[in-house]
C-alpha cells in the first residue's frame, strides 16, 4: 500500500504563522476590509464597476501562476464561509501590475476555494490569476483585500484591469466623491429656462461640479467639470469610464437639505429635479459582487 504523505513540520508552522497574523488583522478591522482567504466564484460576469472597486482598493495588483496548494484542516483554517475550503497558496508572480514597493517572485496567501455540489474544489494548480492584495507582515506574504479578490487572468480581463489601473494612476484622474456641496439655480429670462450648478465634495479637495441647463423646447443638457472653471465644452462622462464610475457609484440618491438651504423653495425643487436628471443619465452603478 502506498504510504500517505504528510505535511512537513516547517510548512505547517509557516501556515499557522500566516493564518495567525491574518486573523489578528481581521479581528481589528470591519468585515469590508478583512484580510481573509478569498473566493473567485463570481469571476464570470464581473462588471467594469466590480473590477474598478477591486483595483481602486488594492495597493498591490499582480498576475501570478498558482503553484503549491495545501488544504487547511478545520483546526488550522478558522472560520470559513460555508461551501468553501480554505487553502494555503504559493504562486509565482508573472507581472506586477500595481505596487510601488515591488513584490516577491513567489507569494503566499490564504484563499477560500468554492466547492461544487459534490464538495469538490476547482482545479487551481497552474491557474493564471490576478490578485488584488495588500502586503503581508513578512516578505513574500500578501493578504487579499476581499473574499473575491482573486480572479482568473484571461487576456480580456487582464487588459481591462490594466486599463482601469492606468486611469486610476493618471495625473488627471477624477477624485473619489464623498458628498454633495452647495447647489445653485438661476432662472432664465423666459419661462422654462434655467441653469443649476451643484458642487461636489471630493476626497482630495479637488473641485468637481455638475451643471444642468434647461431651455424651452429642448431636452435638458448636463455636464461635469473638473476644475474651478466650468468649461462650456464640458460633456457628460462616457459610460464605463473612471469619471462615470466616480459619479455613478459616488453620488447620493438625492440632494440633501443642506445643499439647497440657501435656495427658495421653488428653486430648491428645480435643483432637485435637475439632479435627478444627472442620476438618470448616469444609470445604475453596476455592482454585481456580493462580497465587500
Question: Do residues 97 and 39 touch, judged by C-beta distance below 8 A?
Answer: no
What cell was used for 99? 505596487
Confirm whether 2 is domain-assigned.
no
Confirm whether 288 is domain-assigned.
no
Confirm whether 197 is domain-assigned.
yes
Residue 264 has pLDDT above 90, yes or no: yes
pLDDT digits (tens, 9 = 90+) for 42-64: 345 789 999 999 999 999 999 99
Confirm whether 159 is domain-assigned.
yes
Check whether residue 223 and residue 131 sit in a common domain. Answer: no
Domain residue limits at 191: 177-282
Last residue of a domain, one of 124, 141, 169: 169
What cell was used for 156? 480580456
Check whether residue 120 and residue 259 sit in a common domain. Answer: no
Work out the number of other CB atoms within 10 angstroms of the CB of residue 234. 17
Residue 15 has pLDDT above 90, yes or no: no
Confirm whether 13 is domain-assigned.
yes
pLDDT at residue 43, rounded to an integer: 44
Last residue of a domain, one of 121, 141, 169: 169
Check whether residue 196 and residue 270 sit in a common domain. Answer: yes
Least confident of 6-15, 23-32, 101-110, 204-213: 23-32
Last residue of a domain, one of 152, 169, 186: 169
Domain count, the chain: 2
φ and ψ at 28, to 5 degrees? -90, -5
Amino acid at each position: 500500500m502506498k504510504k500517505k504523505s504528510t505535511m512537513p513540520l516547517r510548512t505547517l508552522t509557516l501556515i499557522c504563522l500566516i493564518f495567525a497574523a491574518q486573523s489578528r488583522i481581521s479581528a481589528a478591522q470591519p468585515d469590508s476590509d478583512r484580510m481573509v482567504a478569498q473566493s473567485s466564484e463570481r469571476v464570470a460576469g464581473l462588471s467594469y464597476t466590480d473590477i474598478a472597486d477591486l483595483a481602486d482598493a488594492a495597493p498591490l495588483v499582480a498576475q501570478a501562476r498558482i503553484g503549491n496548494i495545501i488544504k487547511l484542516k478545520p483546526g488550522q483554517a478558522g472560520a470559513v464561509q460555508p461551501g468553501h475550503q480554505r487553502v494555503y497558496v504559493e504562486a509565482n508572480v508573472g507581472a506586477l501590475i500595481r505596487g510601488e514597493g515591488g513584490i516577491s517572485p513567489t507569494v503566499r496567501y490564504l484563499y477560500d476555494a468554492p466547492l461544487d455540489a459534490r464538495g469538490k474544489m476547482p482545479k487551481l494548480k497552474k491557474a493564471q490569476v490576478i490578485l488584488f492584495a495588500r502586503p503581508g507582515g513578512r516578505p513574500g506574504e500578501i493578504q487579499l483585500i476581499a473574499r473575491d479578490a482573486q480572479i482568473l487572468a484571461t487576456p480580456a480581463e487582464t487588459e481591462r484591469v490594466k486599463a482601469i489601473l492606468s486611469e486610476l494612476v493618471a495625473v488627471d484622474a477624477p477624485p473619489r466623491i464623498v458628498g454633495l456641496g452647495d447647489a445653485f439655480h438661476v432662472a432664465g429670462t423666459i419661462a422654462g429656462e434655467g441653469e443649476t450648478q451643484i458642487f461636489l465634495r471630493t476626497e482630495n479637495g479637488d473641485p468637481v461640479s455638475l451643471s444642468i441647463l434647461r431651455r424651452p423646447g429642448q431636452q435638458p443638457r448636463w455636464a461635469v467639470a473638473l476644475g474651478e472653471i466650468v468649461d462650456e465644452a464640458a460633456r457628460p462622462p462616457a459610460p464605463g469610464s473612471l469619471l462615470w464610475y466616480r459619479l455613478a457609484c459616488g453620488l447620493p440618491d438625492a440632494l440633501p437639505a443642506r445643499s439647497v438651504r440657501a435656495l427658495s423653495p421653488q428653486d430648491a425643487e428645480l435643483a432637485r429635479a435637475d439632479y435627478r436628471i444627472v442620476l438618470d443619465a448616469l444609470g445604475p452603478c453596476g455592482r454585481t459582487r456580493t462580497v465587500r
